[in-house]
Amino acid sequence: MTNRIAVLGSINVDTTYHVTRFPQPGETISANDKSSAPGGKGANQAVAAARSGAQLSFIGMVGEDNEGKFMREALQEDGIDTKFLKNDPRHGTGAAVITLDANGQNDIMVYPGANFGMDESLLAGTEDLLEKVDFLIAQFETPQAVTAAAFKLAKEHGVVTILNPAPAKEILPELLAVTDVVIPNESESEVLTGIAVDSEEAMLKTAEYFKDHGVANLLITLGSRGVFYSTPHGHGIVPAFKVKAIDTTAAGDTFIGALTSQLRKDLSNVADALVYAQRASSLTVQRMGAMPSIPTASEVQAALND
């Protein structure tokens, strides 16, 4: 069965500067190389899900500029429906500047642009779409109020809502109330709850925190330690695949998109879906760039069969 997914999210054009090491405050260093590629957390997650066989629709905004045209075409190349990708006449397309060091670690500076030009009028006409999809995914590179309105609408149509609270910031209570699955990484989880996820006991305590705020399902990505999950079906840690990372950009986005492409709506297969998602993410970090590094279903299956 093919999962039908809508992503409400961010679109950025990524420019990556390749350096031997990160500069110190006030220091000027030379970049060894420079590259540009389509990206943004929302776009990356949509492409990851589409490349793993899901049927995708995208809800978002770009500027009336060449970058917006470039990003629209990039999504369409992966078979993603862009009917609800609107143009913002006031702001340029979102952009990110990424500094990547020789160890594959990065830091990122984002210009939100049209991503934060969204308001609830963007959702006009999306009811027909939400009647047909299984999952709606969103992140924090777009306004929370729009996400809350979209999730509320999605819940009215029986859609499973997935929130990736990145970059971490306080979550609106009304958004948590209509979120089915929350997926932070370990640092985001600590920012959101004040609980350091340094043990399974702490992770279970974090799961209780989110349950108390209305979210029944928690996944915490733990980098090289794997991923912790807590759902009504049980809890546990699925280990990561050991690989040599050369660029961690879009690793988390690949994980979320690939995971959602495999999940059943009742999350009964969460452990198996997590293994698939972990494998997909492990391939992404062995390649350069955001969207260009995201693997296809056949690549993930081949790696799982190795």
pLDDT in tens, 67-90: 999 999 999 999 999 999 999 999
198 catalytically annotated: no
Say how far apart CA 304 and CA 280 lie, in whole Å.
Answer: 9
Count of CB atoms within 10 A of residue 60's CB? Answer: 29
| Residue 221, marked binder | yes
Q: What is the CATH number of domain 4-9+41-89+118-305?
A: 3.40.1190.20
Cα-based distances in Å from 214 to 175, 211, 217, 274, 286: 9, 5, 9, 23, 37
Say how far apart CA 209 and CA 45 lie, in whole Å.
Answer: 26
Say how far apart CA 240 and CA 259 lie, in whole Å.
Answer: 14
Identify the three-state secondary structure at position 87.
Answer: strand
Say how far apart CA 193 and CA 63 lie, in whole Å.
Answer: 35
Count of CB atoms within 10 A of residue 196's CB? Answer: 12
At residue 35, the pLDDT reads: 87
Angle of helix 270-284 relative to helix 297-305, nearest 10 degrees? 100
| Residue 225, marked binder | yes
Report, as ranges of residue numbers, the positions in the chain whose pLDDT lies below 70. Answer: none
> Which member of 212, 253, 272, 306 is catalytic?
253
At residue 37, the pLDDT reads: 86
Q: Give the end-to-end CA distance of the chain in Å, rounded to a whole number.
A: 25
Residue in the structure block whose two tokens are 């899901």:
54
Give ∠ CA 109-115-116 in degrees, rounded to 5. 95
| Residue 14, marked binder | yes
DSSP single-letter state for residue 279: H
| Residue 43, marked binder | yes
How do residues 268-285 score in pLDDT, each as one tens digit? 999 999 999 999 999 999
Asked whether the beta carbons of 53 and 47 are under 8 A apart, the reply is no
At residue 96, the pLDDT reads: 87
Q: Bridge-partner residues for 190, per DSSP?
A: none
- Token pair, residue 227, equals 């991923």
DSSP single-letter state for residue 81: E
Q: Domain map of the chain by residue range?
A: 4-9+41-89+118-305
Say how far apart CA 288 and CA 293 lie, in whole Å.
Answer: 6
Say how far apart CA 128 and CA 110 lie, in whole Å.
Answer: 32
Write down the pTM of the prediction: 0.93
| Residue 66, marked binder | no
| Residue 253, marked binder | yes
